[in-house]
Amino acid sequence: MALETWLDLPEDTPFGVANLPYGVFSPRGGPPRAGVRVGNHVLDLAAALDDPVFARPSLNEFLATGRQRWTETRARLTGLLTDERERPRVEGALHPLAEVSLHLPVEVADYVDFYASEQHATNVGRIFRPDSEPLTPNWKHLPIGYHGRSGTVVASGTPVVRPSGQRKPPDADAPVFGPSRRLDIEAEVGFVVGTGSPLGSPVPVKDFAEHVFGVCLVNDWSARDLQAWEYVPLGPFLGKSFATSVSPWLVPLDALEHARVAPPPRDPEPLPYLADAGDWALDLALEVRLNGEVVSRPPFATMYWTAAQMLAHLTINGASTRTGDLYASGTVSGPERDQFGSLLELTWGGREPLTLADGVTRGFLEDGDEVTITATAPGPGGERIGFGEVTGRILPA
């Protein structure tokens, strides 16, 4: 059953009382502070809860308080929004979304990007290494990942300047320098660590929800031509590090109870430290729009590895984690062509351009293009849980 609120929310809003995602906003003329989205309003948490932990320009301090406090805070908010006697207190702390600026919700500590979609990894293997097995021998034994640049994780809406760098045309003897010609998106889901873990203490799969606070959407912009030239043998670097955009709202794990589903079967069975403990696949329906037109609907439930397995793997060597660590799933691609989460795959390496409205075609991104990723998940009583959109427009080099 969906909870009844006394607030007048838009019909079928995916930001109802069952969601309550956290972000950082500035009211007009005011400093950044924490808020929760309700319908098309933002609730100022420092004002509503009279707690200075929310009067900060990032959620980190609140996230560091831990699972028990997260759950208590959510219960208090639910109380405020369902008990009409709280109306005066709440109404004074609500800001129309249209009148605030939204920021990066957390100060990002380390950023890791995984590669956890079997369809995506298979597609990439087929496109780049057509004469080899598409999946590398390690792929089904561990969630492959690498560190990205946390300093260039940016808020949704931040323009993305086309990066320049080295690329080597196939028929050239030497690399050339210039703006990327194969600028791409990667539609991903991100997980933010609230409670860190000390050096030497792996986080078992079963402890996932003690450490991870919430979930956001990520667009891991990628310059395929820069990446192709640089990535052997140490992996992606400048092809990724120019910008990674994240959505403004962290949907707490507590809001995703109805989205939890069983992960797909794994063969071979993973090593014991990666064994599932509870269903932590998440039934998130992503949607990718290019200049307003839907070009893909990647289904997150099809991911081979869960976020709980990713965190267990990330820490199995004793690596510590910190409040604000962000790790992303890697590109989400489902089995159908219109479920692929990158232009690389949607256009099969640029060879089969997309045809958009008015007959416009796209291989990779052109200057002025705007990409927006959204998602929803099942909530209680048929309600939908919405994610804030992550969007960005390409500016010329």
Residue closer to a second copy by CB (options 242, 387) is: 242
Residue closer to a second copy by CB (options 125, 353) is: 125
> Maximum Cα–Cα distance for the chain, whole Å?
74
Burial 136-156 (b: 16+ CB within 10 A, else e): eeebbebbbbeebebebbbbb
- Residue 220 is assigned to a ligand binding site: yes
Residue of 41, 95, 103, 120 with catalytic role: 120
Check residue 122 and report its DSSP letter: H
Residue type, position 213, single letter: F
Distance in angstroms (rounded) separating the CA atoms of residues 195 and 212: 7
- Residue 22 is assigned to a ligand binding site: no
The torsion angle over the Cα atoms of residues 35, 384, 296 and 310, rounded to 10 degrees, is 70
120 carries an active-site annotation: yes
Distance in angstroms (rounded) separating the CA atoms of residues 67 and 55: 20
Q: How far is the CB of 337 from a second copy (least distance, A)?
A: 23
Q: How far is the CB of 79 from a second copy (least distance, A)?
A: 36
Residue closer to a second copy by CB (options 185, 385) is: 185
Residue 236: C-alpha distances to residues 15, 94, 221 (Å): 36, 43, 12
- Residue 115 is assigned to a ligand binding site: yes
Where does the chain have alpha helices with state H?
Answer: 45-49, 60-63, 67-82, 87-91, 118-128, 208-211, 224-230, 307-315, 343-346
Q: What is the DSSP string of 46-104?
A: HHHHT-GGGSSSSSHHHHTT-HHHHHHHHHHHHHHHH-GGGHHHHHTTEEEGGGEEE--
Residue closer to a second copy by CB (options 27, 125) is: 125
- Residue 244 is assigned to a ligand binding site: yes
- Residue 188 is assigned to a ligand binding site: yes
Q: How far is the CB of 174 from a second copy (least distance, A)?
A: 7
Q: What are the residues binding a second copy (CB under 8 A)? A: 109-110, 115, 136-138, 141-142, 144-152, 154, 161, 163-166, 168, 174-175, 177, 199-200, 223, 226, 229-239, 241-243, 268, 271-273, 313-314, 316-322, 325
Q: How far is the CB of 381 from a second copy (least distance, A)?
A: 40
- Residue 279 is assigned to a ligand binding site: no
Residue closer to a second copy by CB (options 315, 339) is: 315
- Which residues sit in the known binding site for Ca(2+)? 113, 186, 188, 220
- Which residues sit in the known binding site? 113, 115, 129, 186, 188, 220, 227, 231, 240, 244, 331
Q: Which residues are catalytic?
A: 120
- Which residues sit in the known binding site for substrate? 115, 129, 227, 231, 331
- Which residues sit in the known binding site for Mg(2+)? 220, 240, 244
